[in-house]
A = this chain, B = another copy of it.
Amino acid sequence: MQEERRLAVLRAIVEDYVATEEPVGSKALVERHGLGVSPATVRNDMAVLEDEGYITQPHTSAGRVPTDKGYRLFVDRLTTVKPMSVAEKRAVSTFLDGAVDLDDVVQRSVRVLSQLTRQVAVVQYPTLSRSTVRHVELVALAPRRLLAVLILSTGRVEQRLVDLEADLDDDVLADLRLRVNQTATGQVIAEAVTALRGLGEQPPTSPLAVYAAPVVDALADAMSDHRSDERIAVGGAANLARYGDSFDSAVRPLLEALEEHVVLLKLLGEATAGGMVTVRIGAEGPYEQLAATSVVATGYGPQDDALATLGVVGPTRMDYPGTMTAVRAVARYVSRILDEA
Interface residues of A (CB under 8 A from B): 100-101, 104, 134-135, 137, 139, 141, 147, 149, 151, 157, 159, 227, 235-238, 240-241, 247-248, 251-252, 255-256, 258-259
Contacts and interface: CB of A to CB of B under 8 A. Distances in A.
B258 A252 contact: no
Given A235-B259, A238-B252, A252-B238, A139 B151 contact: yes
Contacts of A149: 137, 139, 149, 157
Contact of A238 (B101, B151, B238, B256): B256
A240 B241 CA distance: 11
Nearest to A258: B237
Given A235-B259, A237-B259, 10 more contacts: A135-B139, A137-B139, A137-B149, A151-B159, A237-B255, A238-B255, A240-B255, A241-B251, A241-B255, A247-B247
Contacts of A135: 139, 141, 147
Contacts of A104: 227
Copies of this chain, whole number: 2
Contacts of A248: 241
A259 B115 CA distance: 12
Contacts of A240: 255
Contact of A259 (B100, B236, B247): B236
Nearest to A135: B139
B157 A151 contact: no
Nearest to A101: B159
A141 B137 contact: no
9 contacts: A101-B159, A104-B227, A134-B141, A135-B141, A141-B151, A157-B157, A237-B255, A238-B252, A241-B248
Query: Among A101, A151, A235, A238, which residue has the most Cβ atoms of chain B within 10 A?
Result: A238
A149 B256 CA distance: 36
Among all A-B residue pairs, the 8 with the closest Cβ atoms: A241-B252, A238-B255, A238-B256, A137-B139, A157-B159, A237-B255, A137-B137, A135-B139
A259 B236 CA distance: 7
Contacts of A247: 241, 247
Nearest to A240: B255
Contacts of A159: 101, 151, 157
A42 to B, nearest CB: 36
A137 B138 CA distance: 9
A330 to B, nearest CB: 17
A293 to B, nearest CB: 14
Nearest to A134: B141
A337 to B, nearest CB: 14
Nearest to A228: B103
A243 to B, nearest CB: 9
